[in-house]
Amino acid sequence: MSDRLRISAKNLGEFALPDLCPRCAWIKLRYRLPYQIFPGIFSSIDSYTKKVVHGWIDRHGTLPAWLAELGPIDGYIDPPHHSQFQLEIPEYGILLTGAPDGILRLSDGAVAIIDYKTARYTEGQDRLLPMYEVQLNSYALMAERLDYGRVTKLALVYAEPVTDRAVAEGAVSAEGFAMGFSVSIHPVGIDPGILDPLFQRARELYDLPHPPSGREGCEDCRRLDSLIAGFGDG
């Protein structure tokens, strides 16, 4: 085992995806990529959803009706920044980091952890579900070890834009227009046992001195190789 591997709960979750490319994963573990292709608007909407939920709890002391199945609650814990939400996994020389979207204080003294997803809910068909399950179970492990409380519920909260024409016609205001969201909850099972094999896989990959082979038939790597070969000719 070489130096400490720092990995976010979400990146650890990628190791649960069946189509993970080991070469891409190795590069992401070892280097900061020079660009970020994930559009920032989704993070903005997730952050807005958090403000909507916390604002409602502050005013009413309960969850909005569309989250009621997660309760009853006593309140919420302000989600910690990822610099404050970290856990050493000494067996694998890993520092696990994360930033949960929501931590609810349940009335029975336990806590629920939720993650907002701005996406259409497809009843468990989301290709990324295995990644999200690892992400939430990582948060549960961290929350318990860092004394946030006993975690008894995990859930993904999907917020899907309502784009019907009838709704759109009534959405215009003097300042611009509003967009509504319909919410669906996907409960996630608590299963800390899924994390260990992924810690091990991430560690083994990180320790490889050279990048492993990429995904069979991936055009992007073939193009990159041609590009590098072209620079070599210059």
Contact with ligand SF4 (CB under 6 A) among 10, 23, 28, 201: 23
State the DSSP string of 62-100. S--GGGGGG--EEEEEPPPPTTTSEEEEGGGTEEEE---
Cβ atoms of 98 and 9 within 8 Å: the answer is: yes
**Residues whose CB falls within 8 Å of the CB of residue 138, separated by 6 or more in sequence, listed in order:** 9, 12, 13, 96, 98, 195
> Count of residues binding ligand SF4 (CB under 6 A)?
8
Query: One symbol per residue from 166 to 205: x for binding ligand SF4 (CB under 6 A), - otherwise; what is it?
Result: ----------------------------------------
Cβ at position 127, least distance to ligand SF4 in Å: 15
Closer CB to ligand SF4, 100 or 214, in the complex: 214
For Cα atoms 11, 15, 17, give the angle at the middle one, nearest 5 degrees: 110
> Considering only 18-26, 65-73, 110-118, 225-233, which stretch makes contact with ligand SF4 by CB under 6 A?
18-26
DSSP state at residue 4: P
Closer CB to ligand SF4, 21 or 67, in the complex: 21
Distance, in Å, from the CA atom of 210 to the CA atom of 23, rounded to the nearest integer, reads 9
> Considering only 20-28, 41-49, 59-67, 121-129, which stretch makes contact with ligand SF4 by CB under 6 A?
20-28
Closer CB to ligand SF4, 12 or 141, in the complex: 12
Query: One symbol per residue from 212 to 231: x for binding ligand SF4 (CB under 6 A), - otherwise; what is it?
Result: --xx--x-xx----------
Q: What is the largest CA-CA distance in the chain?
A: 68
For Cα atoms 206, 209, 210, give the angle at the middle one, nearest 5 degrees: 100
CB atoms within 10 A of CB 138: 29
Closer CB to ligand SF4, 19 or 147, in the complex: 19
Binding site for ligand SF4 (CB under 6 A): 21, 23-24, 214-215, 218, 220-221
